[in-house]
Amino acid sequence: MDDSAYDELVSSLTPQESGGGVTSYRNTVSVACPACEEPFDDLVVVHDDETPLELSRMLDICVSRHDGDVLLFTHRH
């Protein structure tokens, strides 16, 4: 994902929490997931590959990357 796409994406989302190498955003306006083009629920930006994540609540995840960060797009069905 390039910088302009990333900036546009994040500007549409609601910041939720950050810390521990992770920043999460809530998708309140049904932005389409860049990977599967279905609206996602949350974007989790992982700034540190070593960060442990609680993924048990995430049933379906699409993954992208930006500048070495891992972007997790979560879908709850």
Strand partners, 74: 42, 61
Q: How far is the CB of 58 from Zn ion (least distance, A)?
A: 11
- Which of 35-64 are b and which e, b meaning 16 or more Cβ less than 10 Å from the residue's Cβ? eeeeebbbbbbbeeeeeeeeeeebeebbeb
**CB-wise, 5 or 36, nearer to Zn ion?**
36
Which of 34/50 has CB closer to Zn ion? 34
CB of 27 to Zn ion, least distance (A): 11
Cβ–Cβ < 8 Å for 48, 70: no
**Least Å distance between CB 14 and Zn ion?**
18
List the interface residues with Zn ion, window 12-71 (CB under 5 A). 33, 35-36, 62
Q: Which residues bind Zn ion (CB under 5 A)?
A: 33, 35-36, 62, 73
